[in-house]
Amino acid sequence: MFNFRSILKILQFLKLLIFLIFENLILLVFPPHKKTFAGEIVLITSSANGIGRQIALNFAPLGATLVLWDIDDEGNKETSRLAQKNGAKIVFVYHCDCSNREEVYEQADKVRKEVGDVTILINNAGMLLGEKFCDLSDADFEKMLRVNFFSQVWTCKAFLPAMMTCNRGHLVSIASAAGLLGAYRMSGYAGSKYATIGMMEALDSELYHAGKQGIKTTIICPYFINTKLSKGFQTQNHLLLPVYDAEYVANKIMDAIQKEKFYLIMPLSIRFFPFKIFLPRKMVLLFESYINITNSMDKAFGRKKKD
């Protein structure tokens, strides 16, 4: 039987729940002021092209110090040049293979010594091989996990302690819609993105219950974007599941960071993916057939050609 104390706890919980619902409704009508970035130290992984470069260009005129990590030195230098042309005053460029734990920690030490403590960490490094599960080699599977998931583990471990000390910072994780719905030829990629989303949700929970609400978390879950990562991907329904340009997605990511959103899920249709657990599995598979997901990866960049 419920005792009086249990009933009181339930009533208190419901009271807070109703308050939070109204708070969110009010914020929809009267959004909070966007945060500013003057004086922030922003580190972006995989910044030599695509979304990483576009995010850097968005930060450039806002007064932040940019720290660019990539294995493509020439591309990264070009991002630095474009960022400075776009208004960035201070840009640091580092060669870093984010799939290598020792290199991540080594470069993180250099950043702390040469630049300072990172206050906004944007984990953007990614790798996609659109192969069926049995065709994907163990080495490639492991590499996707290192690039897509473990790189974010290592960078968060490297830079989060300083954020916790001053209870201030922002962790931004570029995940994927594939982390919400595992699909055809996406076992390795989806597995790494599911892991990333789960880790970031758990990390946000840890920070909240440790009283570190000054550290914000934003998880980005877009559908495919027109970058080198997914070159050749063909959507079968442009209205329902469009392939976005990197510049458009970067603008949306910046808006999510400024508004301190926890999730950015795009397009709108992707927001229904988490409700798959309430649907019969055949309905999910029927949806995949409707959007012809089995043919979408036929010409995608990174696929190994078969005889």
- Where do the structural domains in the chain lie, given as residue ranges? 34-296
**pLDDT tens for each residue of 44-78:** 999 999 999 999 999 999 999 999 999 999 999 99
Confidence class for position 233, pLDDT limits 50, 70, 90:
low
**Average pLDDT score, the chain:** 86
Q: What is the pLDDT of residue 209?
A: 94
Q: 295 versus 194: which is more confidently predicted? A: 194
Whether 11 has a pLDDT exceeding 90, the answer reads no
Q: What is the pLDDT of residue 238?
A: 60
Average pLDDT over residues 265-285: 76
What are the φ/ψ torsions at residue 287 (nearest 5 degrees)? -60, -40
Q: What is the pLDDT of residue 12?
A: 74
pTM: 0.84
Among 21-30, 77-86, 209-218, 242-251, the range scoring the smallest mean pLDDT is 21-30
Q: 177 versus 271: which is more confidently predicted? A: 177
Q: Is 244 a catalytic residue?
A: no
As given in the structure block, the two tokens for residue 6 are 């249990």
Confidence class for position 299, pLDDT limits 50, 70, 90:
low
Q: What is the pLDDT of residue 227?
A: 66
Average pLDDT over residues 179-188: 87
Q: Which fold has domain 34-296?
A: Rossmann fold (3.40.50)
Confidence class for position 267, pLDDT limits 50, 70, 90:
confident
The most confident of the ranges 6-20, 97-111, 131-145 is 97-111
Q: What is the pLDDT of residue 270?
A: 78
Q: What is the pLDDT of residue 107?
A: 98
Whether 295 has a pLDDT exceeding 70, the answer reads no
Among 199-213, 226-240, 252-266, the range scoring the smallest mean pLDDT is 226-240
Which of 148, 171, 155, 174 is CA-nearest to residue 253?
Answer: 174
**pLDDT tens for each residue of 89-105:** 999 999 999 999 999 99
Q: What is the pLDDT of residue 37?
A: 95
- Catalytic site residue from 94, 189, 223, 244: 189
Average pLDDT over residues 117-141: 94
Confidence class for position 303, pLDDT limits 50, 70, 90:
very low
Q: In what order do the strands lie in the sheet with 263-266?
A: 91-95, 65-70, 41-45, 120-123, 169-174, 215-222, 263-266
Q: Can you give the chain as a three-state secondary structure string?
A: CCCHHHHHHHHHHHHHHHHHHHHHHHHHHCCCCCCCCCCCEEEEECCCCHHHHHHHHHHHHHCCEEEEEECCHHHHHHHHHHHHHCCCCCEEEEECCCCCHHHHHHHHHHHHHHCCCCCEEEECCCCCCCCCHHHCCHHHHHHHHHHHHHHHHHHHHHHHHHHHHHCCEEEEEECCHHHCCCCCCCHHHHHHHHHHHHHHHHHHHHHHHCCCCCEEEEEEEECCEECHHHCCCCCCCCCCCCCEEHHHHHHHHHHHHHCCCCEEEECHHHHHHHHHHHCCHHHHHHHHHHCCHHHHCCCCCCCCCCC
Confidence class for position 243, pLDDT limits 50, 70, 90:
confident
Which of 233, 228, 206 is CA-nearest to residue 217?
Answer: 206
pLDDT above 90: percentage of residues in the chain? 62
